[in-house]
Amino acid sequence: MAAGHGWGMLIAALALLVLWGGVIAAVVAAFGTRPRATPGPTALQVLDERLARGDIGVEEYSARRRQIVDGH
């Protein structure tokens, strides 16, 4: 009597594994992604802050800004 149910139970067990694998994959896909780190300030923002703090003068600011914008 037990020999007749062997294949059915095996198929049911495999189907259950596939079902739980799908559920776990869906949860990981939905919630498993980490938030990306926020990017830091740009070079121009740092330069603006340095000018505002008085770390650099207007002439140095203008020269460095040209280097950043023009890429030279």
Residue 1 above 60 pLDDT?
no
Cβ count within 10 A of residue 47:
19
Q: Which residue has the higher pLDDT, 68 or 1?
A: 68
Count of H helices and E strands in the chain?
A: 3, 0
pTM score: 0.48
Query: In sequence order, what are the residues at sequence separation of 6 or more whose Cβ sits closer than 8 angstroms to the Cβ of residue 24?
Result: none
Residue 39 to residue 13: CA distance in whole angstroms = 47
15-36 confidence digits (pLDDT tens): 999 999 999 999 888 887 777 7
pLDDT computed for residue 56 by the predictor: 94
Residue 67: both structure tokens together: 């280097």
The Cα–Cα gap between 16 and 68 comes to 59
